[in-house]
Structure 1
Amino acid sequence: MHTVGHGDTFTAAGFDVQVHGELHAVIHPDIPRITNVGYLVDGGRVFHPGDALTVPGPAVETLMLPVMAPWSKISEVIDYVREVKPQRAYDIHDAMLTDLARPIYDHQIGALGGAEHLRLAPGESTAL
C-alpha cells in the first residue's frame, strides 16, 4: 500500500487509474479539511470522486455520485453532475437518505443534472 496524490497514476487489477483532487469538500469553515482524492479509471470510463467533488479534466462516462453527506445539499450535487457532464451517474454515499427522501433526490438529480441518473440496490451490480 502507498499514498497517492493529485496527478499520480497507477494500475490496479488491470485498470489504469489517475488520481484527481486533494481535499475533502468543505463540511464547515470551522472544521479543518483533510486529504481526500478521487480516482479516474481507464481514462474516464468511471470516476469516483471520493468526498473531494473534484471535476476531472477528461470526459467521464460513469460518475459515482455522492448524493447525501453532512457536507452537501442537493443543489450542489446537481451542479456537480452538470460540471462533470457524465453520460450517467450512479448514486453512492446515500445511506443517510430515507425512503421518503430518495424519490425526491432521484427526480431532481435526474431532471436537472443533465445525465442519466441511476441507483443500485444493496448487493446489485451492473456492467459498464
Structure 2
Amino acid sequence: MQLIFHGHACVSLALPDGGDTLVIDPGAYSDTATALTGAAAVLITHDHFDHMDLEAVLKHLECSTDTHVWGPASALEDLTSGGAPTERLHEVAPGDVLEIVGTQVTVGGGAHAEIHPEVPQLAMNVTYLVEVDGGRIYHPGDSYEAPATVPDGGLDVLLVPVSGPWTKLAEAMDFARSVPAGAVVPIHDALLSEIGHTLTGRWLDTARLGGKYTYSRLQVGESTAV
C-alpha cells in the first residue's frame, strides 16, 4: 500500500491492487480535498479541528454515500450535530480490533497529551495501528502513547508528532526510539518553519539518536510504499 501525507496530521492509505482508500485525521491544516477524494473510510483520533475539519468531512459524507467514519464519541457527536447520517458513524474505544475496508485496525490510546495542568483534558484521543498485507503503520493522534502490542518484526511506519502546544522534542525522540519501526515519518508539523523542520530532522535522525529507523519527512502530496 501507499502512505500519502496530506499535511499536518492527515495521511491516507491507498490499499493494494486498486483497493479502497482509508484516511486518518483530515483536519483544517491539511489538504482535505485531496485526502478525502475517493475515501471509503475515515478514521478520527479526536475532535480537535486540526484533526477533523468538520465541514469537509460532512461535505464528503454527503457526496460519497458509501463512506463511513470511525472515531471516539466526541468526534461523532460533532458530526451528528452537523447532520451526518448516524448509520455511517461508528464509535471506537481503546482495545477495539476492527476490519475496515480490507485492513485490520487496532484502536489504542485513550488520553490526549497534557497541554498544561490548568487546561482541561480532552475527553478522548485514540490511536490507530493499521495492518494490511503485512504492512503496518501507527498514528498516535495527539499523544506519544506506544501501541499496546507491537507486532513481531515491528512497524513499517511510525508517525511522530513534532510540533504543537503539547509536544516536546525530547518526548518525540523517546517515542521514536521506543517503538521499533523501519521508518519514522513526522506529522503534526503545521507550526514548523523550514528552520524548525531542519532542526527537528537533525534531532530525530538516527545519526544523532543511534536508532535503526530511517527518518523520512514527506512533503504534502508525497507518498511512501509500506
TM range (shorter): over 0.9
Percent of pairs with identical residues: 41
The list of structure 1 runs, each at least 4 consecutive aligned residues, that deviate by more than 2 angstroms after superposition, is: none
Identify the residue that residue 217 of structure 2 maps to in structure 1: 119
Identify the residue that residue 204 of structure 2 maps to in structure 1: 109
Identify the residue that residue 138 of structure 2 maps to in structure 1: 47
* TM-score with structure 2 setting the length: 0.54
Number of aligned residues: 128
Q: Which has the higher strand share?
A: 2
Matched position secondary structure for 1:21: strand
- Taking the TM superposition and a 5 Å limit, the aligned residue runs for 1:59-78 are 59-78=154-173
Bigger CA radius of gyration:
2
Gaps of 5+ in 1: none
Q: Say if 1:21 and 1:50 are closer, same or farther in 2 by CA, change over 3 A.
A: same
Identify the residue that residue 13 of structure 1 maps to in structure 2: 101
Residue from 20, 24, 28 that aligns with 2:112: 24
Task: Give distance in 2, aligned partners of 1:25 and 1:113.
Answer: 26
- Would you say the 8 A contact 1:22–1:52 is kept in 2? no
Task: Give distance in 1, aligned partners of 2:166 and 2:176.
Answer: 16
Residue from 161, 171, 177 that aligns with 1:82: 177
* TM-score with structure 1 setting the length: 0.92
Q: Which has the higher helix share?
A: 2
